[in-house]
Amino acid sequence: MPLVDLWKARRSSIEQMTIEQIASIAGDGKLLDNSDCQKELRQYLNEASTDSLADYATYCLENSFSKSGQILQDVVNELGRRLEYIVEDGRYQGVKNAIGFDGIWQDQSHTPWSLVVEVKTTDAYRLSLDTVAGYRNGLIESGRITGSSSVLIVVGRTDTGELEAQVRGSRHAWQTRIIGVESLIQLVRVKESADRQDTVSKIRTLLSPIEYTRIDDLVGVVFATARDIEESIDEVADRSEVRSEKGVDIIEKTAPEKLGEIRERVIAATSFKFDLSLIKKSRAMYWSPDQRLRVACAVSKRYDNPGIVRYWYAYLPTWDSFLEQGEQSFLALGCVDLEVAFLLPLDFVRSVISHLNVTEKNSGRKYWHVKIIEPTPGEYSLQVPSPGSNEPLSPYLISLAVATPSS
């Protein structure tokens, strides 16, 4: 049975294994270029969570075993995909007349440019910067990357003073940057906590050569990222602003941890429904590894204020743009106190969105109000203020009581 199928059938057992053990059951267990083992392992990493990728990277760095370098190379390239680069995996072993590289990460957000990635696990040997720069030059000459592309050295150790001095003293200093695996993972986590695509693009600029004599651009990246995350945390969908009958705004907050827990359960149920892994793109947006299935997930607590509105969400333009680019796209609405969620197809959302109330803030932040009402106990509908009709939600119910795969 292929590794990914085995993982889906016995997820808990596979997730308790080390990456060394997982690689040994992929294909024929022989991790070589163009092998079934390589193909299955990379497919598995493509569907693994960021937490799992972090664990696998740590294991490769803290344990000496055959193929640890190759596995770490694949994990690092998968982290590049989580940062939404278009990634070309490199070979494990160099071959004659071929350009050697561990990975090529292409950024298509603005002017196309690429990172030629070199993964260095230890300081046991001195890295030849001329060789790595030669990879870059060869790729430029062959037309595979642009002349503005640079080299990114991903290191396993935090003590890289010697390598940094080596880079600073070389003629390749301007085209070369260094980042630790742990910091790369942290960048992925920051990206997954944001919602705006321009924030993701700004995060990626940190990996390219930047002139730091004047640090305006660096401050801009920090500010944009912090603002995006702050708005995500205080977003009205999580903040759940509900108006009482007397017109007084009632602001109640639910712990972010609880909202996150429900969101993960909703995503797990959706993944189970479609038999596909869903990878976290941002705080509330998820997609399948091939990006065809997309889900934006909001969560609300229950409100027992006078009236029939029981759950309240915000639907953001960034979510709508994200969902529009998928082949199957859904807005998932979770409820803190229910064992079900509502999985609304994008076409359905689009059919009612013009009839929903909308808020536009001075900051430019915009969102549509999505309200679930409960006219009678246990029956839920989407409230559509104009023309005053309601849409039953029973066709879109999914259970959160997902069957746990056997272990």
The rounded radius of gyration (Å) of the Cα atoms in the chain is: 24
Task: For residues 288 and 276, give the distance between their C-alpha atoms in angstroms, rounded to a whole number.
Answer: 7
More confident residue, 171 or 356: 356
Q: Mind spelling out the 3-state secondary structure of 84-152?
A: CCEEEECCCCCCCCCCCCCEEEEECCCCCEEEEEEEECCCCCCCCHHHHHHHHHHHHHCCCCCCCCEEE
Task: Look at residue 211 in the predicted model and tell me its pLDDT.
Answer: 66
| Polymer length in residues for the chain | 407
With bands split at pLDDT 50, 70 and 90, how would you rate the model's confidence at 158? low
Q: pLDDT at residue 168 above 70?
A: yes
Tell me which of 33-42, 126-135, 288-297 is least confident.
Answer: 126-135
pLDDT reported for residue 240:
41
- pTM of the complete model: 0.86
pLDDT of residue 106: 94
Residue 238, pLDDT above cutoff 60: no
The two tokens of residue 16 are: 């308790």
Residue type, 91: R
How confident is the model at residue 308, as a pLDDT?
85
User: Residue 222: its pLDDT value, please?
Assistant: 73
- As a whole number, mean pLDDT of residues 363-367 equals 81
Q: pLDDT grade, residue 49 (50/70/90)? A: very high
3-class secondary structure, 328: strand
| Model pLDDT for residues 291-315, shown as the tens digit of each residue | 999 999 999 999 887 778 899 999 9
Of the two residues 336 and 12, the one the predictor is more confident about is 336
Over 50: is that where the pLDDT of 118 sits?
Answer: yes
Residue 316 has pLDDT above 80, yes or no: yes
How does 145-169 read in b/e, with b if 16+ C-beta sit within 10 Å?
A: beeebbbbbbbbeeebeebeebbee
Residue 250 has pLDDT above 90, yes or no: no
Core vs surface per residue 16-49: b (16+ CB within 10 A) or e = eeebbebbbbbbeeebeeebebbebbbbbbbbbe
Give the best-scoring range by mean pLDDT among 96-100, 171-175, 213-217, 391-395: 391-395
pLDDT at 8 over 90: no
pLDDT band of 230, cuts 50, 70, 90: low
Q: Are 191 and 282 in contact (CB under 8 A)?
A: yes
pLDDT tens digits, one per residue of 251-305? 456 677 888 899 999 999 999 999 999 999 998 999 999 999 999 999 999 988 7
Q: Taking 50 as the threshold, does the pLDDT of residue 178 lie above it?
A: yes
* Residues 141, 156: Cα–Cα separation, whole Å: 30
Which residue, 74, 171, 80, 84, is CA-closest to 132? 171
Q: Mean pLDDT across the chain, nearest whole number?
A: 86
Q: What is the mean pLDDT of residues 395-400?
A: 96
Q: By mean pLDDT, which of 82-96, 194-208, 211-225 is the weakest? A: 211-225
For each of the domains in the chain, give its residue range(s) and CATH number, in order of start.
49-186 (3.40.91.30), 256-399 (3.40.1350)
* Structure token pair of residue 225: 């990222």
Q: Give the CA-trace dihedral at 176, 180, 185, 191, to 10 degrees.
A: -40
Q: Which of 247-251, 292-296, 359-363 has the lowest mean pLDDT?
A: 247-251
Indicate the pLDDT class of residue 67, thresholds 50, 70 and 90: very high
Residue 362's pLDDT band, with cuts at 50, 70 and 90, is confident
Q: In one letter, which amino acid is 328?
A: Q
